[in-house]
Amino acid sequence: MESIEQDLIAAFRQSFQRAPRLFRAPGRINLIGEHTDYNDGFVMPAALNLSIWAAIAPRPDRRLRLRSLIMDDIVEFDLDDPAAQPRGDWSDYIRGVAIFLEQAGYRLSGADLVFDGNLPIGAGLSASAAFEVSAGFALLTISGAEIDRVELAKICQRAENQFVGVRCGIMDQYISCCAVAGSALLLDCRSLTARKVTIDPQARLVLCDTMVRHQLAADEYNARREDCERAVAALSTRIAGISALRDVTFDQLMRYVDSMPELVFRRARHVVGEIDRTLRAAAALDAGDLEECGRLMNLSHDSLRDDYQVSCAELDLMVDIARSFPGVYGARMMGGGFGGCTINLVDGTRAEAFAQAMAERYRTATGVTPPILACVPGPGAGPAGLIGAAHVSAR
């Protein structure tokens, strides 16, 4: 971690000839609960100990100058530009957050920023939310503004929905802001309340990266959300008082299957089933039942593959390999889909052997050596030196 900080400070001094302050926001894993957050459902994420870092120093004007060491790019824009339009690149995540913070009433100072990190881009670990949250924390702090962490998560989500154009749910931004070290959170995406879920210390969460980057994910993600909205519209003609698939039981969905096209029904079947699986997985972890949690993770992947159709050949291969090993309780794709990573719940005594065997078998099948990481749930965003501990209070 120190080398990232030192390299970032050096790059900032080289670019802008002064000393910065540093902020960090983590990426995330999601144990179970995929594509449920934008349906007002439940998810079970945890923060990674991999992050996007922002170095920042104020300017006397109202301009933002952004440099990304990851993208090797520099972008500059004016906070007072009345006709701000997306560029279609990484800078939209930061510019969108600045615009929506201002719209929410936070007067920002101009600033120079440099971004770096050890969080893989496009791997389904929510680097986009980490960019947004690190930028939001940095801009607010140097501007002397105060904001509640949940409010910051909501503004970052709004920026990604309305400026970037990806209709994501709240999970990624919420966990980047509010994660608790050492625990997953069972998050209710409607009320934005969460509770800690402790994972048996005898188990390991192992992340396996297919190295396939989901270039198609944004358009497909938005299409899946539209399918869910179509399902709600159809079911609303039969069931009073529903506003999201969260409000539909499995029995109701099956009773009114004739109210929607088959493809829309299958999307809804995944979401309704996944919300139930997530609640049951949390209960299983509370009871120390790793086998039941793993079984539910397996069902989650099968549903994402068959009903939601967001998997790909490499993700399916990685899951099939994992399930063939002893000591693997469950394996599933994670994130928006079409590439990225799998998450595996593994007996801790077999985790090292699992990682070695997975790397060998996936490399043999694809010619690609997959990065594999045993995940340690980390804290939420904050300043360097006070990661996750800094209090950002309500206005």
SS3 category, 236: helix
Other beta carbons within 10 angstroms of residue 395's beta carbon come to 10
37 in catalytic set: no
Other beta carbons within 10 angstroms of residue 105's beta carbon come to 8
Other beta carbons within 10 angstroms of residue 29's beta carbon come to 25
Look at residues 278, 286, 382, 160 and name the one whose alpha carbon lies nearest to residue 392. Answer: 382
Active-site residue (options: 37, 40, 112, 172) = 172
One-letter amino acid at 209 equals D
d(CA 329, CA 297) in angstroms, rounded, equals 9
SS3 category, 255: helix
371: which DSSP letter?
Answer: P
Kindly state the tokens that stand for 182: 């050492």
Q: In this structure, what are the phi and psi dihedrals at residue 116, rounded to the nearest 5 degrees?
A: -150, 175
Look at residues 138, 95, 111 and name the one whose alpha carbon lies nearest to residue 18. Answer: 111
Sequence-distant (≥ 6) Cβ neighbours of residue 390 within 8 angstroms:
382, 383
Kindly state the tokens that stand for 184: 């997953």
Give percent helix, percent strand, percent coil of the chain, each to the nearest 5.
45, 20, 35
Q: In this structure, what are the phi and psi dihedrals at residue 340, rounded to the nearest 5 degrees?
A: 90, -140
d(CA 298, CA 49) in angstroms, rounded, equals 25
Handedness of CA 117, 379, 279, 173 (dihedral sign): negative
Residues carrying an active site annotation? 172
